[in-house]
Structure 1
């Protein structure tokens, strides 16, 4: 792939791996359009992208260090001072970096509030123009939209009819928003579907471990071929078998793409990036939303009511619930080809 001295910082939030994985097609599109991406993040998102793109330049950003709380909204409120401090630090770091590097012509932030700049065009990626939080939805939505307005454009990864994000991406607020299509690092391939059930574990702790333990118990002694991908990015890839289940600690994108394409059914969280991936791969899925995470709970309910995919709470899950998949339509969407016009914002001169 040809690149020029035009560089763009792309910065995904480190919250699970979803923000990082949906940046993969954008990074590839930037390379295809002769830009040089610079990756900026922290934690697992940073480590994941370094494995996927080992030859790119990286910036280590301050960690938000968001810890999970039983009540997500209350937890985020209590951690707000810590988050605000990290946002201010990353904004200072990004602007300092841009001033020292004249080749940078733009910034793309996936839900990192502080990765914007008055020096170059700045883009914010989100499918949540509206942030659901129960009784405080108005407040969380107001503050999020205020953050979005600090950017020149907001890119929404969905079809223009909000086919997969529903009311999360529908708003009458004056935001320079573009629906850019469903984003996935994967491509549909034809393989024999020799895996009966693929379980993909993801999310922040301790919920990631809760999901893992519950589903291992649910599928213990199942006669079908069961595969678990644990979503634990470690120094070494591992594969092992315990009783009837094959385990992987993590898989690289091309490996996970193959194993999903080879599966009849996928069981996972109703995270938005997972939904987009499975839609591109035309898969039947069963979703288990993270408890007290309104976005995932809404998306699971929205897709269930649309008869696209069944779902249930973690405590209610049993392996025989997968039988309800037979009457669902399944997830399906055409692969998005990111148009070069999307990056026209970055072809102008810097703002100073």
Structure 2
């Protein structure tokens, strides 16, 4: 979902520049983009079917056995991509972490903040695999800034590289708008199951005795399951961009996963946040630790989190407001071929 949300400002910039984007994704990511852009054509891509383990220590083991299915999905992606290119007369591709969505016939760009893929003892292997994918594309766009005041740290910055890299700045669909505070706390859930549900259940339990107003955004688009909560907690399954932007701007504090897209969204709004990284997800663990060491936001592991931990935010600066405007010169690659 994070990959889909951070593509929203790119899609909007393309439309303003006179392009006619064609969308392609799967699952809830595709559903989100269809809701945001109902007037654009869209196609379904093969799913990687990534599902996280209930225990963080088993995540790598579970993902390892998904590798053959991922390679199969990549081959299917390549076939579907070729069909879309021919049918829609596509002139260029922007692929956000879709490994097989590229073509040697037209300019192809890959978006990622993970030039290094952290996976513990297998980091060198996972990084080498990902960098091999990146080299299949004409350009690699990193949604971050190149200088030291960056958000992705060693994930998105290499000492040496032979890629055609372009740092396109912080990507977010939101802008800062000064609004009166409406919520003391905004809970913003996201990510694969079952970890999303496990965190939801834990936070609802912890929030029962919270003294303040809470907006609880579950981060589910396609569900018939309804949940109940205490009177001071307002539950929403999902909010589209305009509504979520207003909610974030009206909230004093945000609790969320330390996914990179979420971090960018909170950063452009200059919010204070508390992060709970997904168990076993080393990228989120690294980002949460980095932001904590930079004295921007605190974090706590999911199993250890208690509501009193939120008091730690008093000792952290929160984010400064980042600029998230898309530079249309980034699209020169498509205009020149």
Give, in angstroms, the shift of residue 326 of structure 1.
1.1
Distance 2:10 2:225 in 1: 26
Q: Does 1:313 align with 2:297?
A: no
The equivalences for 1:174-193 within 5 A come to 174-193=162-181
* Deviation string, structure 1 residues 179-202 (Cα, Å, up to 9, x no partner): 100000111111111211111111
In 2 relative to 1, CA 174–54 (structure 1 residues): closer, same or farther, beyond 3 Å?
same
Distance 2:5 2:216 in 1: 19
- 2:71 aligned residue: 84
Q: Any idea what SS the aligned residue of 2:209 has? A: coil
In 2 relative to 1, CA 57–236 (structure 1 residues): closer, same or farther, beyond 3 Å?
farther
Give, in angstroms, the shift of residue 75 of structure 1.
2.0
Give, in angstroms, the shift of residue 239 of structure 1.
9.8
Q: TM-score, normalised by structure 2?
A: 0.95
- 2:36 aligned residue: 52
The equivalences for 1:72-221 within 5 A come to 72-102=59-89, 104-161=90-147, 163-171=150-158, 172-221=160-209
In 2 relative to 1, CA 52–238 (structure 1 residues): closer, same or farther, beyond 3 Å?
farther
2:141·2:165 contact (CA, 8 Å) conserved in 1? yes
Distance 2:229 2:307 in 1: 19
- 2:238 aligned residue: 250
1:289·1:314 contact (CA, 8 Å) conserved in 2? yes
Q: TM-score, normalised by structure 1?
A: 0.91
Distance 1:79 1:311 in 2: 29
Q: Which runs of 5+ in 2 are unaligned?
A: none
* Deviation string, structure 1 residues 230-254 (Cα, Å, up to 9, x no partner): 0011378989763331111111110
Q: Any idea what SS the aligned residue of 1:205 has? A: coil
RMSD: 1.6
In 2 relative to 1, CA 316–122 (structure 1 residues): closer, same or farther, beyond 3 Å?
same
Give, in angstroms, the shift of residue 72 of structure 1.
2.7
1:37 aligned to which of 14, 17, 21: 21
Q: Any idea what SS the aligned residue of 1:93 has? A: helix
* Deviation string, structure 1 residues 109-138 (Cα, Å, up to 9, x no partner): 000000000110000000000000000000
Distance 1:137 1:336 in 2: 30
- 2:314 aligned residue: 326
Q: Any idea what SS the aligned residue of 1:308 has? A: coil
Q: Does 1:286 align with 2:274?
A: yes
2:51·2:194 contact (CA, 8 Å) conserved in 1? no
Distance 1:32 1:74 in 2: 44
Distance 1:68 1:134 in 2: 17
Distance 2:165 2:224 in 1: 40
1:26 aligned to which of 10, 14, 26: 10
2:139·2:166 contact (CA, 8 Å) conserved in 1? yes
Q: How many pairs were matched up?
A: 332
In 2 relative to 1, CA 49–238 (structure 1 residues): closer, same or farther, beyond 3 Å?
farther
Distance 1:72 1:92 in 2: 30
1:309·1:328 contact (CA, 8 Å) conserved in 2? yes
